[in-house]
A and B are shown apart, each in its own frame.
Chain A
């Protein structure tokens, strides 16, 4: 025990004596929260339409002004040339081309269905589908007004239909920041835990200082624990810092128990610290370590469900996520912060994290060799 204390003290001295690391430790969370939380969003606004209005009628103009009135669309280009419109779409100047054919108004007044044609840039499939949905919503609205004008009735009371009323739970305003913030916090803690401790150990290998430790009777678990604990503490401090920024800058709600969140984060940190140290035991240089660690981190983060729903991933990906600590902590974070989930709600995730933390640390201790 006393040995560990001596080693931990040494780690802390070295961390805080290193000006760059000690600044980065507190600078990174602030910058990351302030940049990522507001920037990473799937909300789609200000889609640029290139309008080809070949009808030029009162009806087409009414539709256009409805589009212009929506926050989703802007109409910076109007043209009568199909090829010019296509060029604009090709050169990314607009996101979609909307063509109102000649005869649009005639069809409406004569009671025949009137068609309009939207050509959407679907390189980003999600954005394309969303703009299609927005456009549909606006034309449905337009249709309703047409019907109203024609029949003079208040809505379509005589037509039988189902009306869906909804209320959004846990994030009533559909504020994207509320969704992203718990995830960004996890990325932050992952980077601190996974990279710093591992780099630290590889640096000892590079400089040869680990030799001098290896000829002492220091036990392997003592050495690994002393490498983990300082970064565990720093990770938790960063989490607190990130949460405070979320509260102050973005007014993110916090429904659940802070203590529970920190408990989960601590277990998570043991897992990523263990994995980072494990990787560092077979890396010879800091470059090697960074390359492998970066690769693993990207996979863990992109598969974790931070951007895309976990449930819609292929089955093998969901199985992979059973050993992905990032996926568990993101789920826990969202549940605890936004839903106010308690220990019993997150039991599965918590137990899985504990198992992962145990095994990763075990690997690190086993793989660390005092004797080559």
Chain B
């Protein structure tokens, strides 16, 4: 990949007290790619992702997202990114369309494009019958699809997905990835963390974190070659298993 860099991380360190969650991370993410961010539980993926999306301040290091410094211009970054939390965080007590309208409104879509976007989304997700249902009544798979759609409602340059398919059935997972590919094809950069190694194969490039460090970063093919493995899962098991266990 030789696109333009949209995320640039140099020597990122994040400490919580004595605990170092991110230990000197360095990487670049290029425009339009699907970047997979892998790692065991507690490896520091979510911390890094929260720093990139402006929810958390780094302890030190230079981090630019969409051309802005996260320490200085995090509000400018927010206009250019979408974010989907690990924990479902749309409003449960609002309906599908109320959530869409709320976030569309917050991101400054005008009334007409808001209406168009809403209708298109409802149709695309085959959500018409759910339009006036409260989110709390939706099945998880639909909730996740909705959360993703809301995260990209303003056509951001980058979208951050934190374990978007956790707990979702295989069919829905596949559909979800189709949504991701479609989004990527529009030039939106995808930054995704996941536990599912088959999903890692879908990414253009992956990085693997272990105990706060990035231990490998490359295309899935190169990684498999380098570690002489048939699947990314094997690569992962070989390098990412915490030494303590």
- Residues of A near any B CB (own CB < 8 A): 2-3, 5-7, 9-10, 13-14, 17-18, 207-219, 370-372
Contact = CB atoms under 8 A, between A and B. Distances in A.
B86 to A, nearest CB: 9
A17 B105 contact: no
B54 A2 contact: no
Interface string B53-65: 1111100000000
Chain A facing B: main interface SS: helix
Given A10-B98, A10-B102, A217-B75, A211 B91 contact: no
B182 interface: no
B60 to A, nearest CB: 15
A6 B91 CA distance: 14
A217 to B, nearest CB: 4
Contacts of B75: 217, 219, 370
Given A2-B105, A217-B107, A13 B94 contact: yes
B89 A211 contact: yes
B87 interface: yes
Interface string B84-122: 010111111110001001110111100000000000000
Contacts of B53: 215
B78 interface: yes
Given A3-B105, A6-B101, A212 B89 contact: yes
Given A10-B94, A371-B56, A372-B57, A217 B78 contact: yes
B74 interface: yes
Q: Which 8 A-B pairs have the closest CB atoms?
A: A6-B105, A215-B83, A212-B89, A208-B89, A217-B78, A208-B87, A217-B79, A216-B106
A215 B54 contact: yes
Residue of A210, A219, A370 with most chain B CB atoms under a 10 A cut-off: A370
Nearest to A3: B106
Given A215-B78, A216-B103, A217-B75, A14 B93 contact: yes
Nearest to B101: A6
B74 A216 contact: no
18 contacts: A2-B108, A6-B106, A10-B94, A18-B93, A208-B87, A209-B89, A209-B92, A210-B89, A211-B87, A212-B83, A214-B54, A215-B54, A216-B106, A217-B79, A370-B75, A371-B54, A371-B74, A372-B55
A289 B48 CA distance: 30
Contacts, number: 81
Contacts of A370: 54-55, 74-75
A215 B55 contact: yes
Contacts of A216: 78, 103, 106-107
Contacts of A6: 101-102, 105-106
Contacts of A210: 89
A276 B219 CA distance: 51
B29 interface: no
A237 to B, nearest CB: 22
B99 to A, nearest CB: 9
Nearest to A215: B83
Nearest to B106: A216
A14 B94 contact: yes
Given A208-B88, A212-B85, 13 more contacts: A7-B106, A13-B98, A208-B85, A209-B92, A211-B55, A213-B106, A215-B53, A215-B82, A215-B83, A216-B78, A216-B106, A217-B75, A370-B54
A22 B20 CA distance: 46
A6 B56 CA distance: 26
A207 B85 contact: no
B34 interface: no
Contact of B81 (A211, A215, A371): A215
A213 B105 CA distance: 12
Contact of B89 (A5, A10, A207): A207
Contacts of B102: 6-7, 9-10
Given A6-B101, A216-B78, A209 B91 contact: yes
A18 B134 CA distance: 12
Contacts of A2: 105, 108
A61 B215 CA distance: 102
B29 to A, nearest CB: 17
A211 B105 contact: no
A368 to B, nearest CB: 14
A210 B57 CA distance: 17
Contacts of A211: 55, 83, 85, 87, 89
A212 B103 CA distance: 9
